[in-house]
Structure 1
């Protein structure tokens, strides 16, 4: 049994508290939040859980084995650093930190302390994303040419971070998860601030990989449509994950472009292939439950989690490069190595 403390009971914290309270492998000991009204809600729903406004009540509690951090991104580094240095395993919501340098520091601290460091890249634990990764890994889609993601809605408008840092970590983490060993080399991004000066509400981000694979990420909280969609285009088949669909979340399109020999011209004519559309039956499970269970299992087994600190660092490096491109008016920016 892993004793857990949660820091942050604002937007996402209630979902984390619910899962760690319900899971058989974890024991929810305490919850910390600066807002006393939030703590009243915790106490009403979970009377056995200790509540506090003091972070040290969790970090210095020897009975707590693991700390879940669900606070604003600007606090992630300091809280995670203190927790790891206190010998706690840490799961921190995305993004890991706001800079590659501080993300590397957390990785080093976790390694030195012998603690698990995991990042809440939620959609890496979505059964539909797992299914599409299986299609890529077994060659069903063929060579991946490009992918694009859309994460759009009217709201939730943020003033403390732009749409890139608020929304794109999901899509960047999926991009890495699906493409496996593919390494990005360059990012270009353009966006605009229409609501709050200096805080981009809409961002279009292009990521170029070494092997000519391309990815496009479109994020916005100023859009008439609520869209959560990923499209992967291979040279054999194409796959679409639409998270807004209630049941048929994945569609596989047997479509592509081929060539037929033309013996009259000793050349080739391009042919378009329009095959079946397959809607697979996928056993669904709440991604957050799968993510939380994976964290507990990683602690118990000592194995590095799927979305570990290195995964978090890769995402932050892309975000950093995209932010630099945004500020330069869309100029391509190389992604830092190491």
Structure 2
């Protein structure tokens, strides 16, 4: 398997499926073997765009193919679990678009099934494979920002109000997966507090705010919104040394690193109150790292192939997907409790121990 081209089928020809099909078709690591969708006309349209690969309406028939190595799932979230479990049972590696599953228990079952069968389960957390986010991860790992103090993330636009999920489950997986990817050790908040609003009467939150205290003492805040007339995709990560600003909609300068911040001087001898500390403001240079231009999905496809060939987990493996699900489920519980903070640390440790 190390030297040969791998064969994959894309399951789902709706919104995201065509993007996956295009990238797997163009990848030197992959041979796109089929498009699978109950809607044959829609599947055929995607097939025509990627070299007229076979259209297979039956998932059972698709998975029966001995020469198929993997599938990429791009179907509604509630179908991710049954499709992935059927594929894993058939001995196929699986990559799933966000979110990994529709519940934490289903996500955990997928992780355990893949591990038991020695197969790769990967979450298609696409933003984690963008040059900007890969650079952010490197800068944090190299200590360029120092210890992380806060993270503010905003993802708002005049978006499609989903019929089956709220704005948290629709948009926040992007931001949560990025946090999980760039923070050393992954995303492990001690609690989740969610506040949502439904001013349209749509029956689900269309505007949402997440507050995530982190084990390090830092705090992350995520704002998602379907109703904003302006589109903003921005993340600010503040550290003890520097602060980074990522503006995904600014192709000329996606990343800016500011050597500016607040320093707390040493406290006077015998005093324990930080209010007595000397505060100074650091005003230094600003610089913008150079970033290569490449499509994130192309990098994701290569990562999936590498994981299969080496047997090593991908950087956005099933566990990463499960950590995002844990936060989303806690957010749902918090909403039902009028925004009360839902502890996460103990539950996460129990799940880790169970594995």
Show the 5 A alignment for 1:35-54.
35-54=39-58
| 1:246-293, Cα deviation, whole Å (9 max, x unpaired) | 121000011011256799xx9753111121111121123211111111
1:312 positional shift: 0.8
Distance (whole Å) between structure 2 residues aligned to residue 261 and residue 150 of structure 1:
34
Q: Name the counterpart of 2:309.
A: 300
The two structures have a TM-score, normalised by structure 2, of: 0.91
Secondary structure of the 2:291 match is coil
Q: Name the counterpart of 1:16.
A: 20
Q: Contact between 2:11 and 2:72, CA under 8 Å: does it hold in 1?
A: yes
Query: Which ranges of structure 1 fall in alignment gaps of 5 or more residues?
Result: none
1:323 positional shift: 0.9
For residue 146 of structure 1, the aligned residue among 128, 146, 150 is 150
Q: Within the alignment, does 1:180 sit opposite 2:184 as a pair?
A: yes
For residue 93 of structure 2, the aligned residue among 89, 109, 120 is 89
Structure 1 residues 281 and 46, CA gap change in structure 2 (3 angstroms):
closer
Secondary structure of the 1:184 match is coil
Distance (whole Å) between structure 1 residues aligned to residue 13 and residue 201 of structure 2:
25
> Which has more strand, going by share of residues?
1
Distance (whole Å) between structure 2 residues aligned to residue 235 and residue 113 of structure 1:
44
Structure 1 residues 259 and 67, CA gap change in structure 2 (3 angstroms):
closer
Q: Name the counterpart of 2:241.
A: 236
Q: Name the counterpart of 2:324.
A: 315
Q: Contact between 2:71 and 2:94, CA under 8 Å: does it hold in 1?
A: yes
Q: Name the counterpart of 2:75.
A: 71
Structure 1 residues 139 and 38, CA gap change in structure 2 (3 angstroms):
same
Secondary structure of the 1:167 match is helix
Q: Contact between 1:164 and 1:319, CA under 8 Å: does it hold in 2?
A: yes
Give the root-mean-square deviation of aligned CA atoms.
1.7
Q: Name the counterpart of 1:279.
A: 288
Q: Within the alignment, does 1:269 sit opposite 2:278 as a pair?
A: yes
For residue 218 of structure 1, the aligned residue among 223, 226, 234 is 223
Secondary structure of the 1:51 match is coil
Secondary structure of the 1:296 match is helix
Distance (whole Å) between structure 2 residues aligned to residue 280 and residue 210 of structure 1:
29
Structure 1 residues 47 and 144, CA gap change in structure 2 (3 angstroms):
closer
For residue 211 of structure 2, the aligned residue among 203, 206, 214 is 206
Aligned residues: 336
1:157 positional shift: 2.1
Distance (whole Å) between structure 1 residues aligned to residue 85 and residue 64 of structure 2:
13
Q: Contact between 2:155 and 2:234, CA under 8 Å: does it hold in 1?
A: yes
Distance (whole Å) between structure 2 residues aligned to residue 258 and residue 195 of structure 1:
44
Q: Contact between 1:42 and 1:51, CA under 8 Å: does it hold in 2?
A: no
The runs of at least 4 aligned residues of structure 1 exceeding 4 Å deviation read 259-263
Distance (whole Å) between structure 1 residues aligned to residue 282 and residue 42 of structure 2:
56
Structure 1 residues 329 and 248, CA gap change in structure 2 (3 angstroms):
same
Distance (whole Å) between structure 2 residues aligned to residue 259 and residue 43 of structure 1:
60
Structure 1 residues 128 and 43, CA gap change in structure 2 (3 angstroms):
closer
1:96 positional shift: 0.8
| 1:155-185, Cα deviation, whole Å (9 max, x unpaired) | 1221111110111111111111221226211
Structure 1 residues 92 and 259, CA gap change in structure 2 (3 angstroms):
closer
Distance (whole Å) between structure 1 residues aligned to residue 201 and residue 120 of structure 2:
37
